[in-house]
Amino acid sequence: MTAEKLCRRLVAFAATASLLPAFHVASGGEAAAPGKPVIAIIAADTNQQTQVLLDLLTVKLSQGGKMDVVERKTIEKVLAEQKIAAAGLMDTDKRILIGKILRANGLLFLEKDSRRDRMKVKLVESGQGFQVSQ
């Protein structure tokens, strides 16, 4: 599958992020400020294919206008300041912390599956830290 085709599928998958504010409220969180959901796209590995896909997905989601995407430099800076590797964000408390710092409703993780030739994608609601979809 080409990177462009995979990106189109991921854009459709990421549309789930528009539901994140509702998930947050339903799980007992406070209502988010009105506006578009904010999502942070995080590469959980340093694989070149993952990085290319992260770039494509960031551009596509930003152009769609239905959600705001946190800039990669901002994400990298926060992870470095908190001394957390992207792979270490599987811990619920760390996901909540990073979501609050980034002011993101959700975290979208991309990772190359080394055993299979495919990408693993997880969407996490950052208010309570639960996984919305995989």
Q: pLDDT digit of tens for each residue in the chain (134 aa)?
A: 556 666 566 666 555 555 555 544 444 444 445 567 888 988 888 778 888 888 888 888 888 777 888 998 999 898 888 887 776 667 788 888 888 899 888 888 888 877 777 878 888 888 777 776 66
Beta pairing class for 131-133 and 118-125: antiparallel
Q: How many domains does the chain have?
A: 1
CATH of the domain at 58: 3.40.50.10610
What's the one-letter identity of residue 114? S
Structural domain including 19 reads: 3-28+36-133
DSSP three-state, residue 12? helix
96: CB partners within 8 A, 6+ apart? 126, 127, 128, 129
